[in-house]
Amino acid sequence: MSTHTDRREFLKNSVAAGIAAGLPTILPATALGKDGAVAPNERVNIGLIACGNRSGASLSYKGYAKSEVVAVCDPIRERRLARARQFGNCTDYNDFRELLERTDVDAVHISTADHWHVPISLAAARAGKDMYTEKPLGISIEQDLAAREIVDKHKRIFQYGTQNRSIAQVRMGIELVLNGHIGKVQEVYVWAPQGESGGSATPILPVPPGFDYDMWLGPAPRAPYCADRLGKGPRKGIYHIYDYAIGFIAGWGAHPMDQMQWWADQMDLGIPVHYKGTGTIPTEGLFNTVTHWDVHCTYADGLKMRFLDNQTVRKVHGIPHIEEIKFGHGTLLIGSDGWVVVTRGGWKVFPDKLYRTAKNPGKKRLIASRNHQHHFVDCVLQRKQPISNLASAVQSDLICHLGNISIRTGRPIQWDPTKEMIVGDDEAAKLMKRPMRHPWAL
């Protein structure tokens, strides 16, 4: 039973017990939800796990009457205390497991480094918590598939942090395609910002006071502390070191690939079964994830999708309409009668009349969400899966991983969607798993 239901039952039973005992039953307006306030049994208590830059989205809960952040957690004391002050000096923790033990926490917002996403999400589900988990999903195919336990076994509400689904033009553009306004889709292109090279493992530095570095590393291999491992800005090592991520091919690629998957889910396409990728992996410096990539993907029905970084996409000849599209990331669907490209920063369609058509595209409609975090809270209260659900997150993340494996092996990859295995290449299949440092495990 969820802690949210427990609180609702507790409040109801407490009032009933008070009446039976002849005790005063006057409750504050905030408890009953009068005068615009929301009753505790209709409010989601949230624990924030990780308080770095990516946790900024959690501030949206502060302005929503149906949610309240009651606890924060981060192995860096300075960061968690700063976030705690923003939420009204709520309780702070160094260890996420202590936060998960709280019975008054209904849901968690997980914005850790990538290597912690699935392990902490699984721990939260086993503790009876719903979760908003930042993208990308896992750092291995094994983690992606294991994550299904969250919904399939524990019946938790899971919102993936691909907030582009809560942006109007993304939804409207995909609805145009679903309702046949560009004809039959013939080609798809997906691109995302390129990764970073460089970084240095030296000088080795003492761990700063107030930083539980071993907890931050968690399941990742033990490594000496240095500035570039956890530096600030886009060159932060957590995005570009293979121990903690697979790079921007998933870290940023999750957004445009998720847009693609939103359409593919409605078409029952699944994911591509064949991948042939090329790319650049740095051989010097601390950063060692793919920086540039070009992956040709083929679906079982023959549809072709091409997945690239935003520099490579500009250099490839023959990509239709790319000269007209200036977006740094995007999902371009080209049909027999037109095309649509959607991004966080805008959208373009051809022919232009489709802008007007998008207001009433037809019968096939997608979930409409104006705010990704508020929508998550609503779904927790209503016990329904949100707009960026786990099943779709697994699918889109698998595409990024399979492209990465093809690049790293230098060979085409064949995916069996029934067995959910790489087939015909034992060496590539071994890359579906990543070791975890003791005592951590899935």
pLDDT in tens, the chain (442 residues): 344 545 444 444 443 334 333 333 333 333 434 345 677 778 999 999 999 988 999 999 999 999 999 999 999 999 999 999 999 989 999 999 999 999 999 999 999 999 999 999 999 999 999 999 999 999 999 999 999 999 999 999 999 999 999 999 999 999 999 999 999 999 999 999 999 999 999 999 999 999 999 999 999 999 999 999 987 655 678 999 999 999 999 999 999 999 999 999 999 999 999 999 999 999 999 999 999 999 999 999 999 999 999 999 999 999 999 999 999 999 999 999 999 999 999 999 999 999 999 999 999 999 999 999 999 999 999 999 999 999 999 999 999 999 999 999 999 999 999 999 999 999 999 999 999 999 999 9
Pair 159, 175 in one domain: no
Pair 159, 255 in one domain: no
pLDDT, tens digit, for every residue of 360-406? 999 999 999 999 999 999 999 999 999 999 999 999 999 999 999 99
Pair 289, 323 in one domain: yes
Could you tell me the residue range of the domain that residue 333 belongs to? Answer: 167-197+234-366+390-430
Say if residues 46 and 69 touch (Cβ distance below 8 Å): yes
Pair 87, 141 in one domain: yes
User: Hey, what are 270's tokens?
Assistant: 């699944």
Distance CA 229, CA 201 (A): 7
Pair 80, 133 in one domain: yes
Whether omega before 351 lies within 30 degrees of 0, making that bond cis, reads: yes
Q: Is 21 exposed, middle or buried (0-12, 13-18, 19+ CB in 10 A)?
A: exposed
Pair 152, 190 in one domain: no
Specify the 3-state DSSP secondary structure of 109: strand
Last residue within a domain, chosen from 141, 164, 187: 164
C-alpha 146 chain-centroid distance: 15
Helix (H) or strand (E) segment spanning residue 421: strand 421-423
Pair 177, 106 in one domain: no
pLDDT, tens digit, for every residue of 13-55? 443 334 333 333 333 333 434 345 677 778 999 999 999 988 9
Last residue within a domain, chosen from 145, 164, 183: 164
CATH at residue 159: 3.40.50.720
User: Hey, what are 88's tokens?
Assistant: 């009204």
Specify the 3-state DSSP secondary structure of 36: helix
> Which amino acid is located at 394 in the chain?
V
Say if residues 191 and 311 touch (Cβ distance below 8 Å): no
User: Hey, what are 126's tokens?
Assistant: 């086993």
Q: How many other CB atoms sit within 10 Å of the CB of residue 259?
A: 28
Helix (H) or strand (E) segment spanning residue 187: strand 185-192
Q: Residue 8 has what pLDDT?
A: 46
Answer whether residue 221 is part of any domain.
Answer: no
Pair 241, 126 in one domain: no
Say if residues 177 and 333 touch (Cβ distance below 8 Å): yes
β-bridge partners, 159 = 132
Q: Residue 158 has what pLDDT?
A: 99
Answer whether residue 379 is part of any domain.
Answer: no
Answer whether residue 213 is part of any domain.
Answer: no
Tell me which residue has tokens 């847009």. Answer: 259
Q: How many domains does the chain have?
A: 2
Our separate counts of H helices and E strands in the chain read 17, 15
Pair 156, 191 in one domain: no
Pair 311, 418 in one domain: yes
Distance CA 355, CA 364 (A): 17
Answer whether residue 359 is part of any domain.
Answer: yes
Answer whether residue 157 is part of any domain.
Answer: yes
Answer whether residue 257 is part of any domain.
Answer: yes
The answer, as to whether pTM is greater than 0.95, is no
Last residue within a domain, chosen from 164, 179, 213: 164
CATH at residue 350: 3.30.360.10
Q: Residue 40 has what pLDDT?
A: 75
Residue closest to 168 by CA, chosen among 323, 355, 333: 355
Beta-carbon contacts of residue 159 (< 8 Å; ≥ 6 apart): 131, 132, 133, 372, 375, 376, 379, 386, 387, 388, 389
Distance CA 80, CA 343 (A): 32
Answer whether residue 435 is part of any domain.
Answer: no
Q: Specify the pairing of strand 158-160 against strand 130-133.
A: parallel
Pair 327, 282 in one domain: yes
Answer whether residue 210 is part of any domain.
Answer: no
Pair 159, 181 in one domain: no
Residue closest to 338 by CA, chosen among 190, 181, 189, 172: 181
